[in-house]
Structure 1
Amino acid sequence: MAAVQTRRKRKLGQFLNALRKRAGKTEIDYHALTRKTQSTLSRMENGYISPSWTELSALLALYGASDDERREAEALWEDAKQDSTRLANAAAFTPEARTYARQEADASEVRTIEMIVIPGLLQTAAYASAIRLAGRRFVDASVSVEQAVAALANRQRRLPGLRLHAVIDEAALHRVVGGEEVMIEQLSHLVDMSGQDDITIQVIPFGAGAYGTMSGGGATALLFEEGDPSTVYLEYAGGGKWVDNPADVEKYLLHFDDMAREVALPPADSTSLIRELATALKET
């Protein structure tokens, strides 16, 4: 199985990297101690693999770690070994989506802007199934709809608790996905979720006109605690792309703030609009 980068392994790797550089040790010193390659050191310091306990102890000695630094490194090592980001129904995710789901599992806050679809964390099972079936040309045919929906449900277990701020284009609320009954259920679910303390839902009304990301698809920002840098994920049919450059991430965060303050309806007005649309569908 290919090594997977995780936030916790990366924190350990960054800590060891800082100790190594402070001690003036190089890849040559690492190889002399462990007989492992420069590539292995790079993968460890970038969070793809963790050292063994024995190797960790040897590295801390090589780097001249203090008692406090040793205790911190050992705590980070223990934390990195915890499998908190193991995914249920992992086979249901594309490689890109699998990485996203692991990052989302460690996030303290999610901010998302969607133009044509309800954000995944807020989708009902029936709505998610309809989306999956409609996108069958872009998904792994060996993964059933039931598996995909179960994987989504596992992500949704963090709600409530995870802070979620979703800005949704009104167009996504009018598109009748899966039929009227499915859409009525979906809209009603949004109304219910908007009442949760950790969840904010805002609607970009048709009258708002053009806005920054409408031509580029949805964007999701993941924010983390303990000073970890935020990141942005751009999803498209069949895959996705990470935006890690700090300047570009900041642009997305500022754009999101602009949308929430200046373009989208306030949360209460958004909930009222969603409720009206659900009622209108029921009366058709």
Structure 2
Amino acid sequence: MAAVQTRRKRKLGQFLNALRKRAGKTEVDYHALTRKTQSTLSRMENGYISPSWTELGALLGLYGATDAERREAEALWEDAKQDSTRLANAAAYTPEARTYARQEADATEVRTIEMIVIPGLLQTAAYASAVRLAGQRFLDPSVPVDQAVAALASRQRRLPGLRLHAVIDEAALHRVVGGPDVMHAQLSQLLEMARQPDITIQVIPFGAGAYGTMSGGGATALRFDAGDPSSVYLEYAGGGKWVDNPADVEKYLLHFEDMAAQVALSPKESAALIRKLATALKET
């Protein structure tokens, strides 16, 4: 199984990297102690793998860690071993989506802009099934629809509690995914979710005209505990991509703030529009 980077392992790796550099130790010193390669050291310090308990102790000795630093490193090691980011129905995800879901599980806040679809964390099971069926050419045919929907439901269990701020293009509200009944239920769920104190839903109305990300698809920003930088994920059919450049991440964060404050309707106005569209569907 390929090594998977997680935030917990990366925190441990960064801590060990700082100790190593402070001690003036190099990859050569690491190899002399462990007989492992520079590549292994790089993967450990970047959060793809964790050292064994014995190796951790040896490294802390090599790096001249203080008693306090040893306790902190051991706590980070224990945290990195936790399974809180283990995914239910992991086989239902593409590799990119699996990495995203693990990161989302560690996030304290999710901010997302969507142009043509309701954000996954707010989708009903019927709506999610219809979206999955429509995109089957881009997806693994061996994964049943119900398994994919179950994987989504496991992510949704963090709501309410996880802070979620969703900015949705009005186009996504008009697209009748799954038929009028499914779409009416989806709009009704948006209204219900918007009443939760940790969830904010805003709509970018047609009258707003052009805006920054409309030609590039949806974007999701994840915020974490203090001291841990935000991440931005761009999803597309059959995959996704992380924005790695800190300057570009900051652009997305500022863009989201601009959309929420200057372009999208207020949460109250957005709810009124969603309610109007739901009523129209009910009458058809």
TM-score category (smaller protein): over 0.9
Distance 1:163 1:226 in 2: 15
Amino acid in structure 2 at the alignment position of 1:140:
D
Query: In the alignment, which residue of structure 2 is the partner of 1:96?
Result: 96
Alignment correspondent of 1:109 = 109
Q: CA deviation at 1:244?
A: 1.9
Structure 2 equivalent of residue 84 of structure 1:
84
Which string of whole-angstrom CA distances, capped at 9 and with x for unpartnered residues, describes residues 94-145 of structure 1?
0000000000000000000000000000000000000000001000000000
Where does residue 240 of structure 1 map in the other structure?
Answer: 240
Cα distance in 2, alignment partners of residues 161 and 244 from structure 1? 27
| Distance in 2 separating the partners of 1:124 and 1:93 | 18
1:18 match: secondary structure: helix
Q: What does residue 12 of structure 1 align with?
A: 12
Report the 3-state secondary structure (helix = DSSP H, G, I; strand = E; otherwise coil) of the residue aligned with 2:176: coil
Report the counterpart of residue 276 of structure 1 in structure 2: 276
2:159 match: 159
User: For residues 244 and 265 of structure 2, what CA distance do their matches in structure 1 show?
Assistant: 29
Aligned to 1:62: 62
For 2:216, give the aligned amino acid.
G
- Unaligned stretches of 5+ residues in structure 1: none
**Corresponding residue for residue 147 of structure 1:** 147
Q: Distance in 1 between matches of 2:39 and 2:202?
A: 46
**Offset, 1:23:** 0.1
Q: Give the secondary-structure state (helix, strand or coil) at the position aligned to 1:113.
A: strand
Q: Which residue of 2 aligns with 1:31?
A: 31
For the aligned residue pairs, the C-alpha RMSD in angstroms reads 0.5
* Aligned counterparts of 2:5 and 2:254: Cα–Cα separation in 1: 27
Aligned-partner Cα distance in 2 for 1:73–1:107: 22
Distance 1:47 1:167 in 2: 32
* Correspondence for 1:209: 209
SS of the residue aligned with 2:232?
strand
Q: How far off its partner does 1:245 sit?
A: 1.1
CA positional deviation for 1:54: 0.5
Partner Cα distance (2:3, 2:248) in 1: 27
Distance in 2 (CA, whole Å) between partners of 1:130 and 1:66 is 56
Q: Match for residue 44 of structure 2?
A: 44
Deviation at 1:226, TM superposition (A): 2.7
CA distance in 2, matches of 1:5, 1:281: 44
Give the whole-Å Cα distance in 2 for the aligned partners of 1:28 and 1:244: 29
The residue number in structure 2 matching 1:192 is 192
Structure 1 Cα separation of the partners of residues 217 and 49 of structure 2: 33
Separation (CA, whole Å) in 1 of partners of 2:268 and 2:7: 35
Q: Secondary structure at the match of 2:110?
A: strand
Q: Distance in 2 between matches of 1:163 and 1:32?
A: 47
